[in-house]
């Protein structure tokens, strides 16, 4: 299959590990260095092909908006493709995005941020000792509603500038329609979908391979990489390692390229790879990709993973954020986060109260657009 550069504003290499010497704090800083590298492929001692990127050449930066080429953040990173196919790896980062459907990012969170998030969420995990359904192994504990339990989780995992940049580019919907003799354009931005922390203990069985876009009754035909276009996805997930995740302790199994298959194509276990991560690394994944937690075959290791999904602004949220967070808590957040939680309007006419934006009715923001 021939690859396609899906987007110009999303210079991310799906199936790559990005290691930054000092993590940039803006999406511009994260994205800049990707497009200002040339690649020399070497064989890693860890058994996969790595591309070492060195600064200095524009390379794939041609055509990337100049406003993203102003950051001064120094960075060196190593890229890893999930794809086993040599041709796919040789075609470079743009086609890797279309091929794989998942990315592992290093230094997503600092150790201090991880420690604070765990401190805020661990008591809720310790209090949750009952299995809530049969979908997860009995050795798994999970807690939801994390946007209410940890503000840092909301700000630095759910609304991290890099993850937000990915979601904005791939989940924002721009829609044109006629109203009388006027051609109108409406934009609906992504919203928080669901939040969960998983604690997988020794002895846990593997989770069934599944797709997380099933909640939206998504039906898709199979496509080639050349046919893949933004807008096909209904949600994107982010899994952050609270502790080291390995194949032995239950790292997420993931089938690269399964987002290109039809909705009714069953998963093939032999096609799965493992999204192994160090603490603070993040795994971004299209919700249309087959994935599942693996068996924890260790004797004493906990796999601790914070999961977040973001969805399109006009789709129903999996987790009801309006009931998860008390209004007093939402009121304390900036407007950008209030909108992200689902309290803004989805243009043109979704989500109003008395024909007004909830931001205006509930929080007194008179500048909020009513979309009419």
Token pair 């803006």: residue: 26
Q: Name the CA dihedral angle for 364, 367, 370, 371, rounded to a multiple of 10 degrees.
A: -160
Domain boundaries in the chain? Answer: 98-312, 326-371
Token pair 């243009």: residue: 347
Rounded Cα distance between 166 and 315, Å, is 18
Mind giving me the DSSP string for 176-224? EEEETTEEEEEEE--EEEEEEEEEE-TTPPPPPPB-TTGGGT-------
What's the confidence (pLDDT) of residue 10? Answer: 35
Neighbouring-strand partners of residue 254: 273, 291
Q: Is the dihedral of CA 327, 328, 334, 337 positive or negative?
A: negative
Tens place of pLDDT per residue across the chain (372 aa): 232 222 222 333 334 444 444 444 444 444 433 333 323 333 333 333 333 322 222 322 222 223 222 333 323 223 345 655 555 554 443 445 567 898 888 899 999 999 999 999 999 999 986 655 555 556 788 999 999 999 999 999 999 998 999 899 899 999 999 999 999 999 999 999 999 999 999 999 999 999 999 999 999 999 998 898 888 999 999 999 999 999 999 999 999 999 999 999 999 999 999 999 999 999 999 999 999 999 999 999 999 999 999 999 999 999 999 999 999 999 999 999 999 999 999 999 999 999 999 999 999 887 777 665
CATH superfamily, region 98-312: q2cbj1_9rhob like domain (2.60.120.620)
Q: Is the dihedral of CA 167, 213, 285, 228 positive or negative?
A: negative
Token output for 267? 């998963």
| Residue 236 contacts residue 170 (beta carbons within 8 Å) | yes
- Cα R_g (the chain), whole angstroms: 21
What's the confidence (pLDDT) of residue 369? Answer: 73
Q: Which residues contact 67 (CB under 8 A, 6 or more apart)?
A: 28
Q: Which residues contact 38 (CB under 8 A, 6 or more apart)?
A: 53, 54, 56, 57, 59
What's the confidence (pLDDT) of residue 83? Answer: 56
């Amino acid at each position: 299959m021939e690859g396609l550069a899906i987007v110009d504003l999303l210079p991310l290499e799906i199936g790559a590990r990005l290691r930054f010497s000092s993590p940039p704090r803006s999406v511009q800083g994260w994205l800049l260095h990707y497009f200002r590298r040339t690649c020399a492929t070497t064989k890693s001692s860890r058994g996969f092909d790595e591309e070492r990127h060195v600064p200095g050449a524009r390379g794939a930066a041609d055509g990337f908006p100049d406003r993203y080429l102003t950051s001064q953040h120094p960075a060196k990173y190593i890229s890893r493709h999930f794809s086993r196919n040599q041709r796919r790896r040789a075609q470079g980062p743009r086609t890797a995005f279309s091929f794989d459907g998942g990315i592992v990012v290093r230094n997503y969170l600092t150790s201090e941020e991880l420690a604070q998030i765990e401190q805020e969420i661990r008591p809720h995990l310790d209090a949750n000792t009952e299995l809530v359904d049969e979908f997860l192994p009995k050795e798994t504990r999970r807690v939801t509603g994390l946007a209410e339990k940890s503000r840092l989780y909301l700000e630095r995992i759910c609304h991290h500038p890099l993850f937000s940049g990915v979601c904005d580019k791939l989940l924002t919907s721009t829609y044109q329609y006629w109203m009388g003799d006027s051609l109108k354009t409406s934009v609906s931005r992504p919203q928080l979908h669901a939040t969960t922390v998983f604690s997988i203990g020794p002895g846990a069985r593997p989770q069934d391979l599944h797709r997380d876009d099933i909640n939206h009754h998504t039906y898709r035909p199979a496509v080639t990489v050349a046919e893949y276009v933004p807008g096909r996805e209904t949600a994107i997930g982010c899994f952050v390692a609270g502790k080291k995740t390995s194949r032995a302790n239950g790292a997420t199994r993931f089938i690269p390229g399964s987002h290109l298959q039809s909705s009714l194509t069953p998963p093939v276990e032999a096609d799965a790879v493992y999204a192994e991560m160090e603490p603070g690394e993040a795994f971004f994944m299209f919700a249309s990709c087959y994935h599942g937690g693996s068996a924890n075959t260790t004797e004493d290791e906990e796999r601790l993973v914070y999961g977040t999904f973001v969805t399109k602004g006009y789709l129903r949220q999996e987790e009801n954020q309006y009931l998860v967070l008390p209004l007093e808590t939402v009121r304390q957040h900036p407007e950008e986060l209030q909108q992200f939680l689902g309290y803004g309007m989805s243009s043109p006419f979704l989500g109003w109260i008395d024909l007004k934006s909830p931001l205006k009715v509930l929080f007194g923001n008179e500048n909020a657009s009513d979309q009419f």
